[in-house]
Amino acid sequence: MDTWAGAHDDGRVNRVKLLPEQVANQIAAGEVIERPASAVKELVENAIDAGAHRIDVVLRDGGRTLIAVTDDGSGMTPDELGLAVERHATSKLPDNDLTHIATLGFRGEALPSIGSVSRLSIASRIAGSDGWQIRVEGGRVHEVQPTPLTTGTRVEVRDLFYATPARLKFLKTERTEMDHAVDTVQRLAMAHPAISFTVGDGERERFASAATADLGGSEDALLRRLSDVMGRDFADNALTIDAERDGVRLTGHAGLPTLNRNTTKHQYLFVNGRPVRDRLLTGAVRGAYQDFLARGRHPLVALFVEIDPELVDVNVHPAKAEVRFRDPGVVRGLIVGGL
């Protein structure tokens, strides 16, 4: 219905027209950037995709006044900086193939969406080159300028939603927004134990976890990272999971039924390294534990599904939080059987 001309009571008719780019970006921002944690997720995913070994996140006022994400990844050239703030510009689909997505980001919507509703600055430097910076304020793009910077990228998002003030009314308290941002980084950190992460407000760290790839084994490294997020009790009461069915592999750790909570907050599920909140996966976990837990109690798990990218669609949700499997029965059976 939205594509047809609409008539007013006085007889005037609205004709079909293209939206201004700034309005289109703000609409996209409403889908992609729901709250400060949404921006944090997109920026940290970009840093991971850039091959970073260390990612530091700072939020002030719960992310309202400042979100800063600094990484030591590959960086961008001046030309790439200019493209990065354009819609649908990405380095993550080299063959334009949506059936084989091997990165966390791929749409090229995050940076222009953030820039349309905030004061965005991106400073980046490739090893052996000079540093450059670009600024976007409420959708208005400024010229790329030289700037001093060590190798990597620093993104600053100031005054989030200043260009769409109505969105500010829907944000929660500073503490709640910070909690959401910390949870977002922790989920990404769990899937990438070889990267160091910190999250804080500039004065106090809320989460810090050193890279664990040097512990002598990938399983030990993963459990160490999981302990940083889920607590020492989980490491002491978790079983190692490693199962495979029809080319789909399930790894991770699952808490004993005696270690349980009254919410599903401590159930962390990943598909090809991507944190997801998927009903199929949570239902499978519930089904596996149903004979061992009292009603209203939930297990602690961190499970990683590895599957051929062509057998899962990650392009079904604006925030990439849900996935769709070609054969959901195989995945559900693998999780229930593995647990």
pLDDT (0 to 100) of residue 221:
82
Mean pLDDT of 308-324: 80
CB 161 within 8 A of CB 154: no
Range 90-106 average pLDDT? 57
Instruction: Note the pLDDT tens digit of each residue in 267-298.
Output: 999 999 999 988 999 999 999 999 999 999 99
Task: Give bridge partners of residue 249 from the DSSP assignment.
Answer: 244, 306
Q: What's the whole-number mean pLDDT along residues 174-183?
A: 97
Predicted pLDDT of residue 100: 57
d(CA 62, CA 180): 9
Spatial distance between the Cα atoms of 45 and 188, rounded to a whole number of angstroms: 8
- Spatial contact of 189 and 229, defined as CB atoms under 8 Å apart: yes
Residue 215: per-residue pLDDT = 42
Inform me whether the pLDDT recorded for 22 exceeds 90: no
Mean pLDDT, residues 65-71 taken together: 98
Taking a C-beta distance cutoff of 8 angstroms, is the pair 112, 87 a contact? yes
324 forms beta bridges with 313
pLDDT, the chain, mean: 88
**pLDDT surpassing 70 at residue 317:** no
Q: How confident is the model at residue 216 (pLDDT cuts 50, 70, 90)?
A: very low
* Tens digit of each residue's pLDDT (9 = 90 or more) over 8-21: 666 667 778 887 77
Residues 178 and 60: their CA atoms lie apart, in Å, by 9
Going by the DSSP 8-state scheme, the letter that residue 98 receives in this structure is T
Q: What mean pLDDT do residues 328-332 have?
A: 97
Q: What band does 335 get if pLDDT is binned at 50, 70 and 90? A: very high
Count the neighbouring beta carbons within 10 Å of the beta carbon of residue 192.
Answer: 18
